[in-house]
Amino acid sequence: MTGVLSLLPEGRHGLLRPPPYGGAEDLAGYLATGGYAPPAEPGRLLDRIGAVGLRGRGGAGFPVAVKILAVRDASAPPVVVANGEEGEPGSVKDRWLLRHRPHLVLDGLRLAAAMTGAARCFVYLSDTLAEQAVRRAVAECPADPRIEVVHTRHSYVAGEETAVVRRIDGGQPLPTAKPPRPFEAGVGGAPTLVANVETLARIAVIQAHPGDAGAVAGAHLVTLSGTAGTAAALVEAPAGTHLKVLADLGGHGTAEAVLLGGLFGGLYGPGWTDLPLDHDRLGAAGGALGCGALHFLHPEDCPVAVAAAATAHLAAHSARQCGVCVSGTAALAGTLTAVTRGEAGHATTDRLRRWAGQLPGRGACGLPDAAARIVATLLTHFPDRIDAHRRAPCPACEAGRPHDGSRFTVPVP
């Protein structure tokens, strides 16, 4: 069972307020927290979001105010989408918010509509329990404009913003070529803001508690997991919290490495304990925070096996629309799987390095980029591990753990 814990200082407002009886927070409970308050002048709220530097929580960490401005200043009436399709197998934060605090997300959606001038809003998701909670909340929601709920099939790429638009417009949840991007031409051809549900929840808290705006913008929901049999945890942590603090909290104090950002941020070895929970500093270190999912590797774990499982999951979830993704991601996964079997050749490292350098930026979405980053960081932080598998698999690989995303999957609390 996944635990839920806030590390925010006492008195600070966050997102993990426990709902009564473990179920969804109802309208009365949410109103008691200051929710659905009459919005301030939308321009003032937008200025505040920009001033505190709120960044998107869907993976890329793009400045939220910049996205809102791009949609607001477009020439046609815009659309706003709450994106709750959580494709990363190691992340639970979005489904937790939709299941337990749906009004918080809807309030943020309402405010985003006010800031952009949108007349149509959507909640996009695949989780059945989340959908039930959201539909109940929509039925009692006092806010305008009207909110529509769109169900999609779950996949790694279904939450990519152009896949979101394509599905809402009646198509398959698959990425499309860019440009145009949704802020230029999205749902029904209208400029569209696709915002992660945690992002919208933080907008709602900033509106209700402006004195805490900076702390709210800097905090992150983080999913902690590992391969040592410890329970996973969903944690709200202040900006700059060191990964070592989170590892110790989750029972991963003996970990020797971490897989960052779900399957997006790559592997990090020696020195990972000094990394902070910060987009820019993780990026400067060659990693990425992504969706905030952290998977810790213990001494008995093999980084090559973890990389093989991660790339195999990505290859299996390819939309199969881009030849470079289909062939390149599968080649990385197949080669790493062969390494775990003791089948590495003398040219394996050079081949992996070449492919990892060629893939980024060549697909319609970031899936091949994620696979390439995993391999590139494996080669950077564990350069000796592939050679060590040249004659025979290591004990961890011989144990035969699954080479797919199931090893990263975390249950929603």
Residue 174, pLDDT above cutoff 90:
yes
Q: Are residues 201 and 225 in the same domain?
A: no
Q: Which residues pair with 296 in a beta bridge?
A: 226, 258
Range of the domain at 288: 219-297
- Average pLDDT of 163-178? 94
| pLDDT for 405 beyond 70 | no
Q: Over range 152-164, report the average pLDDT.
A: 94
pLDDT, residue 395, reads 84
Indicate the pTM of the whole model: 0.94
Q: What pLDDT, on the 0 to 100 scale, is given for residue 162? A: 95
pLDDT at 401 over 70: no
Q: Is residue 95 included in any domain, yes or no?
A: yes
Q: Are 114 and 244 found together in one domain?
A: no
What Rg do the C-alpha atoms of the chain give, in angstroms? Answer: 21
| Share above pLDDT 90 across residues of the chain, in percent, rounded to a whole number | 65
Residues 38, 180 within the same domain: yes
Q: Are 405 and 367 in contact (CB under 8 A)?
A: no
Of the segments 127-136, 340-349, 382-391, which one has the largest average pLDDT value?
Answer: 127-136
Asked if residue 234 belongs to a domain, the reply is: yes
Please give the residue that has the higher pLDDT: either 141 or 168.
168
Q: What is the mean pLDDT of residues 142-162?
A: 90
60 and 125, same domain (yes or no): yes
Q: How far is Cα of residue 212 from the mean position of the Cα atoms in its chain?
A: 24
CA distance 84 to 81: 9
CB distance 114 to 220 below 8 Å: no
Domain contains 386: yes
pLDDT at residue 295 above 60?
yes
Q: Which of 216, 243, 277 is the last residue of a domain?
A: 216
Residues 328 and 382 placed together within one structural domain of the fold: yes
Would you say residue 351 has pLDDT above 80? yes
Give the pLDDT of residue 339: 92
274 and 201 in a single domain? The answer is no
- Mean pLDDT of the residues in the chain: 90
CATH number of the domain residue 115 falls in = 3.40.50.11540
C-alpha separations of 57 from 202, 203, 221, 390 in Å: 10, 12, 9, 40
Q: Is there a domain that residue 108 lies in?
A: yes
Q: Quick: pLDDT tens for 185-220.
A: 999 999 999 999 999 999 999 999 999 999 999 999
In a domain, 5, yes or no: no
Give the per-residue pLDDT at 88.
Answer: 92
Name 293's bridge partners: 223
Question: Is 289 within 8 Å of 260 (Cβ atoms)?
Answer: yes
| Per-residue confidence (pLDDT) for residue 12, from 0 to 100 | 87
Which long-range CB contacts under 8 A does 48-55 form with residues at least 24 apart? Answer: 48/206, 48/210, 48/213, 49/203, 49/206, 49/213, 49/217, 51/213, 52/206, 52/213, 52/214, 52/216, 52/217, 52/218, 53/217, 53/218, 54/199, 54/202, 54/203, 54/206, 54/216, 54/217, 55/217, 55/279
At residue 310 the predicted structure's pLDDT band, cuts being 50, 70 and 90, is: very high
Distance from C-alpha of 353 to C-alpha of 350, rounded to nearest angstrom: 5
The two structure tokens encoding residue 117? 């001038």
Please tell me whether residues 100 and 208 are part of one structural domain.
yes
Domain check: are 85 and 200 in the same one?
yes
What span, in angstroms and rounded, lies between the C-alpha atoms of 251 and 235?
13
In a domain, 194, yes or no: yes
pLDDT beyond 70 at 1 = no
Distances in Å between the Cα of 388 and the Cα atoms of 200, 336, 351, 372, 393 are 46, 13, 17, 21, 8
Residue 402: pLDDT band (50, 70, 90) is: low
**Residue 362: inside a domain:** yes
Q: Which residue has the higher pLDDT, 49 or 344?
A: 49
Q: What is the CATH number of the domain that holds 275?
A: 3.10.20.600
Does residue 254 share a domain with residue 114? no
| Tens-place pLDDT, residues 256-274 | 999 998 898 999 999 999 9
pLDDT in tens, 48-95: 999 999 999 988 889 999 999 999 998 889 999 999 999 999 999 999
Which of 173, 189, 216 is at the close of a domain?
Answer: 216
Length of the chain: 413
Same domain, 253 and 324: no
Structural domain includes residue 225: yes
Q: For residue 104, give the amino acid letter.
A: L
Q: Is pLDDT at 378 greater than 60 in this prediction?
A: yes
Question: The domain that contains 366 carries what CATH number?
Answer: 1.20.1440.230
Same domain, 46 and 161: yes
Q: How far is CA 318 from CA 83, 152, 166, 170, in A?
A: 20, 16, 16, 20
Residue corresponding to tokens 């810790």: 296
Residue at 308: amino acid letter = A
141-146 LR contacts (CB < 8 Å, sep 24+): 141/27, 141/36, 141/103, 141/106, 142/27, 142/36, 143/36, 143/106, 143/107, 143/110, 144/110, 145/113, 145/118, 145/119, 145/120, 145/121, 146/120, 146/121
Higher pLDDT, 299 or 364: 299
Q: Are residues 26 and 102 in the same domain?
A: yes
Domain C-terminal end among 216, 250, 277: 216
Specify the number of domains making up the chain.
3
